[in-house]
Amino acid sequence: MLNIKEGSTSHSAYNLRSTFSDVEERHTLAVIVENEPGVLARVIGLFSGRGYNIESLTVAEIDHTGHMSRITLVTSGTPQVIEQIKAQLGRIVPVHEVHDLTVEGPTVERELALFKVRGEGEHRVEALRLADIFRANVVDSTLESFVFEITGTPDKIDAFADLMRPLGLTELARTGVAALSRGPEARV
Amino acid sequence: MTGQTQSAQTGRQMTGAKMVVQALKDQGVDTVFGYPGGAVLPIYDELFQQNDIRHVLVRHEQGAIHAAEGYARSTGKPGVAIVTSGPGATNAVTGLTDALLDSIPIVVLSGQVPTFMIGSDAFQEADTVGITRPCTKHNWLVKETDRLGQTLHEAFHVATAGRPGPVLVDIPKDVQFATGSYGGKETRSTRYAPPVKGDRAAIEALARAMETAKRPVFYTGGGVINSGPEASKLLRELVAATGFPITSTLMGLGAYPASGEQWLGMLGMHGLYEANMAMHGCDLLICIGARFDDRITGRIDAFSPNSIRAHIDIDPSSLNKVIRTDIPIIGDVAHVLKDLLEAWSAGGRKTDREALAQWQAQIGEWRSKDCLSFRNSDKVIKPQYALQRLEALTKDRDRYITTEVGQHQMWAAQYLGFEDPNRWMTSGGLGTMGYGFPASVGVQMAHPDSLVINVAGEASWLMNMQEMGTAVQYRLPVKQFILNNERLGMVRQWQELLHGERYSQSWSEALPDFVKLAEAFGAKGILCKDPADLDDAIMEMLDYDGPVIFDCLVEKHENCFPMIPSGKAHNEMLMGEVSTAHAIEAGGAVLV
């Protein structure tokens, strides 16, 4: 019909799609925001107000002198919804940049988690052995418990949690995903 | 930030309250609408000691916001309102949401309890920035007087740049009293700058599509008005250059003149038959500054089924939100139309004349259905007739129209003609009953010598009738043209169509005597109930130099047609005088 190349609309993260698909996709977004009061509430309010999903969200200041924070956000939806989410995020005044890491190229995603595992005897030995296999660190220990620190993809942490549960997992804290593009170029 | 340090060193020293007034002056503000209270007393003290800015004392904060909206929409400049903390700010919420949905630039300044009391549930404390976060384009709580000036200038910039909208600046009382540095208009940070130029390749693609189109239609909206008078001028040039027919949303009326050759009338739920049929039958749909609202599209999966869709909008989130777009162009309407006209004339492009002539003939056939015809009466005033007469007797005047929300609003859009932009102020997106009267106050303040008419229903009008006090105090000759059917007409119409004629709570048994009400406020009241008296009564209203409440008793059970029932497509319109039983099916019943 009309020959318009993908992304021919300038100035936005908006990409041309021929049709809307109903298949839900999982996307990791990097959102660079002004570090000012209420900015996180604006982002979260957008998701709750418009009925979008947040699977994981992490935020911290990345540039103190420039007052910049980076929000790494994992969300899911149909391609149309994902495009809407990016466009809506882009409208928020203190949002500087919105990057869809999932479409912009290969990325590394990591999450940190702390596990408290309580047990004695063979369970305790097995927990330690598995922690070694998963390259988890012991960051606290008593005669009847460990606190493991583990870093990896969300899948790896899910797998470790499944293994620890029968061995006495009593408490779990996860940071949510932080993500960067692979390669030498800074995309964000 | 460096800008801040600079201004702290070089700026003039003044109190926060003085800074507010100075910043408003530097922004060229001549009128503010507001209501004083404890947390804004220092600002009101400064307003008292100057003569450059007129303050209009409204009777309710909602009125202040709608008045600021009316001012903004009729002038193209941002409207300004001042409210106090707590209830003052919460009363502003409806107006802010209204301005957000209709993309109206307004700047609201709210007082706040002193910074050291925030969070203590102090008297008249509310989390104003929290409450108004989802109903403003952006908002700020200013905790240091040194930052107040630059924040106020940033607020005006954000309200007007890109897609316009409401902003709010919350100013604690101690920040108003304290002395700080004011560096003038240049101190705002300039980071927020939405692009205005559209992509050249996409504009070229649209020009190519226009060349080959056999059944094209322009579908325009409030974005054309918001882009400024230049956009309306360019739109008229584009329509003249192509000869394509043009329709508009409720928000966009006046961008193209109602007397124009290619004018189809308004489209949508209560739009004209020829406009909706053209949308349904077109092969090229050129959307300019509109957003495919559900009042426009009807059933989505049956919307304009055979067309290539081009969409020009300054807000990327409007594209592909509802309707899939083939040619998306992100940019300001005036900028894009300028480039499009260039692309059109530079290429020496021509339309498909033969196909266009056929298309016009088809449209002529649809037009001949005369979808706005109605059965008139010589016993009772039909609301449509009242508006026809109002149109005939006022169309040649320097006229501004506001409306409330409901049947009268749709009839006004159908039966009044708008030749220019910024002449029509109505609550489109939010559908706020009570909008029109305060908006007419704001319009009249901006245009003291013009004729300002609020076309109202009696139920909507009562929602902000307290503003009669404002109209009388400031000698604003606003004409309140109330089509009084003693019903919540649109609710009643839907109950008839959808709920088996069970008229639950949709009439009022205790309406005031509007003539006496006008007199109680010191205004003029006119009652008219006989069609034979209507012209004389309207002339009496127009000739009176002061506010008038015109109580026009109309047919009580008139329905507003044509109508696309909920859940139906553009080509399934209901026309007047037809059976309306089961017009809305179960699927459509859940829609609003």
Task: Check residue A22 and give its pLDDT.
Answer: 83
Task: Check residue B353 and give its pLDDT.
Answer: 95
Domain boundary among A104, A136, A155: A104
Q: Is B61 a catalytic residue?
A: yes
Answer whether A20 sits within 8 Å of B324, measured CB to CB: yes
Contacts of B129 in chain A (CB under 8 A): 38
Answer whether B317 sits within 8 Å of A37, measured CB to CB: no
Contacts of B133 in chain A (CB under 8 A): 38, 41-42, 45
CB atoms within 10 A of CB B455: 30
3-state secondary structure of B352: coil
pLDDT (tens digit per residue) in B484-522: 999 999 999 999 988 999 999 999 889 999 999 999 999
B138 touching A, CB under 8 A?
yes
Contacts of B336 in chain A (CB under 8 A): none
Q: How many CB pairs under 8 A join A and B?
A: 82
- Residue A59 is part of which domain span? 25-104
Contacts of B134 in chain A (CB under 8 A): 45, 49
Answer whether B202 sits within 8 Å of A8, measured CB to CB: yes
Task: Check residue B577 and give its pLDDT.
Answer: 63
A122 CB-contact burial (10 Å; exposed 0-12 / middle 13-18 / buried 19+)? exposed
B90 CB-contact burial (10 Å; exposed 0-12 / middle 13-18 / buried 19+)? middle
Do A99 and A121 lie in a common domain?
Answer: no
Position B412 pLDDT exceeds 50: yes
Range of lowest pLDDT (A16-30, B31-45, B186-200, B413-427): A16-30
B205 touching A, CB under 8 A?
yes
Question: Which of B173, B338, B479, B524 is flagged as catalytic?
Answer: B173
Nearest Cα to B40, choosing from B92, B78, B77, B79?
A: B92
3-state secondary structure of B399: strand
Q: How far is B226 from chain A (nearest CA, A)?
A: 17
Task: Check residue A2 and give its pLDDT.
Answer: 40
Q: What is the mean pLDDT of residues A163-172?
A: 97
Asked casually if ipTM beats, i.e. exceeds, 0.85, the reply is yes
Does residue B358 come out as left (phi exceeding 0), alpha (psi in the -120 to 50 range) or beta? alpha
Q: Is B48 a catalytic residue?
A: no
Ranges of each domain in chain B: 2-187, 200-367, 383-553
Task: Check residue B580 and give its pLDDT.
Answer: 54
> How many helices (H) does chain B have, and how many strands (E)?
25, 20
Nearest Cα to A49, choosing from B97, B564, B105, B154?
A: B97
Q: What's chain B's average pLDDT?
A: 95
A75 belongs to a structural domain: yes
Scan residues 29-48 of A and list those with Cβ closer than 8 Å to B.
37-38, 41-42, 45
Percent of the residues in chain B that have a pLDDT greater than 70, as a whole number:
96
- Name the pLDDT band for B476 (thresholds 50, 70, 90): very high
What is this structure's pTM? 0.93
Cα→Cα distances B397→B254, B419, B545, Å: 15, 11, 15
Q: What is the mean pLDDT of residues B567-572?
A: 88
Position A13 pLDDT exceeds 70: no
Cα→Cα distances B360→A153, B17, B419, B462, Å: 61, 60, 22, 44
Distance from C-alpha of B465 to C-alpha of B165, rounded to nearest angstrom: 26
Q: How far is B317 from chain A (nearest CA, A)?
A: 5
Do A140 and A91 lie in a common domain?
Answer: no
Distance from C-alpha of B340 to C-alpha of B355, rounded to nearest angstrom: 22
B572 touching A, CB under 8 A?
no
Q: Which two tokens stand for residue A176?
A: 């949510």
Do A79 and A113 lie in a common domain?
Answer: no
A1 touching B, CB under 8 A?
yes
Total tally of structural domains belonging to chain A: 2
Segment (H or E) for B204: helix B200-212
Task: Tell me whether the CATH fold assigned to B200-367 matches the one assigned to B383-553.
Answer: yes
Q: Is B144 a catalytic residue?
A: no
Task: Check residue B387 and give its pLDDT.
Answer: 98
Do A149 and A86 lie in a common domain?
Answer: no
Nearest Cα to B47, choosing from B96, B92, B82, B12?
A: B82
Position A15 pLDDT exceeds 50: no
The total number of residues shown for chain A amounts to: 188
A8 belongs to a structural domain: no
A83 touching B, CB under 8 A?
yes
Domain boundary among A89, A104, A119: A104
Check: CB of residue A93 under 8 Å from CB of residue B137: yes
Scan residues 179-198 of B and list those with Cβ closer than 8 Å to A.
191-192, 195
Distance from C-alpha of B42 to C-alpha of B20, rounded to nearest angstrom: 10
Question: What CATH number is associated with residue A29?
Answer: 3.30.70.260
Do A94 and A111 lie in a common domain?
Answer: no
A7 belongs to a structural domain: no
Task: Check residue A188 and give its pLDDT.
Answer: 77
B405 CB-contact burial (10 Å; exposed 0-12 / middle 13-18 / buried 19+)? buried
Distance from C-alpha of A103 to C-alpha of A95, rounded to nearest angstrom: 20
Mutation to test the A interface, candidates B168, B204, B320, most A Cβ within 10 Å: B320
Contacts of A38 in chain B (CB under 8 A): 129-130, 133, 141
A121 touching B, CB under 8 A?
no
Q: What is the mean pLDDT of residues B539-545?
A: 98
Q: What's chain A's average pLDDT?
A: 89
Task: Check residue B495 and give its pLDDT.
Answer: 93
Task: Check residue B583 and give its pLDDT.
Answer: 62
Do A85 and A139 lie in a common domain?
Answer: no
Question: Which of B123, B358, B365, B519 is flagged as catalytic?
Answer: B123
Relative to beta strand A107-118, strand B166-172 is: unpaired
Range of lowest pLDDT (B176-180, B443-447, B504-508): B504-508
Contacts of B321 in chain A (CB under 8 A): 84, 87
Angle subtended at Cα B298 by Cα B296 and Cα B303, rounded to the nearest 5 degrees: 95
Q: Which two tokens stand for residue B538?
A: 């309207």
Q: Look at the domain B383-553 and name its fold.
A: Rossmann fold (3.40.50)
pLDDT (tens digit per residue) in B206-238: 999 999 999 999 999 999 999 999 999 999 999
CATH classification (class only), B200-367: alpha beta
Position B8 pLDDT exceeds 70: no
Distance from C-alpha of B347 to C-alpha of B206, rounded to nearest angstrom: 13
Do A70 and A95 lie in a common domain?
Answer: yes
For B450-483, give the DSSP string: SEEEEEEEHHHHHHTGGGHHHHHHTT---EEEEE
Choices 3.40.50.300, 3.40.50.1220, 3.30.70.380, 3.40.50.970: CATH for B2-187: 3.40.50.970
Position A4 pLDDT exceeds 60: no
Q: Which residues contact B528 (CB under 8 A, 6 or more apart)?
A: B381, B534, B537, B538, B550, B551, B552, B553
Check: CB of residue A111 under 8 Å from CB of residue A174: yes
pLDDT (tens digit per residue) in A126-158: 999 999 999 999 999 999 999 999 999 999 999
Position B525 pLDDT exceeds 60: yes
